[in-house]
Amino acid sequence: LKKIHCPTSAVSTEPMKQLVLGSASPRRAFLLQECGFRFEIRPSHASEEFNPETPPQEVPGMLAARKWSAGSGNLARHECLLTADTVVILSNRILNKPADEGEAVEMLTELSGNTHTVITGVCIGGPDSAPFQLHVRSAVTFHTLNPAEIHEYVRTFRPLDKAGAYGAQECLAHGANPCSELERAFIQRLSLGDILTRSKPANWKAAPMTAIKGIEGPYFNVMGLPVAEIYDDLMRLLE
């Protein structure tokens, strides 16, 4: 159990329910923390296996709901659970988290020069009602990558915990702002400042692999949690 204490500037001063993040993803925790939420981390450890005949676009919502069901039974009455699942889809096929560095290289080689879809399913709710659910979609286009930079990226960042074997925050051109108009307005509204810079690891300033050529749809969705899309609903459920 990990308890995160976060800034409160973006959060109402009225008493709120306790938010529980049912995910071990450091990127989801970072985004919630940036938005000012206090929360506890309790990964559900629900199975992420699915029938290969399931339409790929249905998988993230199904897995988010499964994670929520697995964790909601342990909620106290004053708690609200958020679960999420993000998938990368290329040519109607899901690219899961790579099993090893070799598979990570294979995935990035497939993504090179192509456009893929990233979908995040989200479930939010307390123990006494059905959860609020949504899924958000983004289209990500990669530059054509050379084998040397792919191998260097995999060796340096070991993206084995990431669907599709990459982290969006690690694959942007230096100074790029891929946020949607909704996200830019959201950043201004919550005074999040240079959240893109803060999302990058502290030990480097420029992206080691400028893989992302463009994004249609929300950028934070590609990071793993579409915070601009869920913020108001999450605040309402916590009040």
Evaluate whether 153 touches 207 at the Cβ level (below 8 Å). no
Dist CA 173 CA 161 (whole Å): 22
HSE value, Cβ hemisphere, 13 Å, CA-based, for 222: 29
Residues catalogued as catalytic: 85
Dist CA 47 CA 69 (whole Å): 11
Q: Of 28, 200, 185, nearest to 122 (Cα)?
A: 28
Buried b (16+ CB within 10 A) or exposed e, 163-195: bbbbbbbbbbeeeeebbbeebeebbeebebeeb
62 DSSP assignment: H
Q: Of 158, 141, 228, 163, nearest to 189 (Cα)?
A: 228
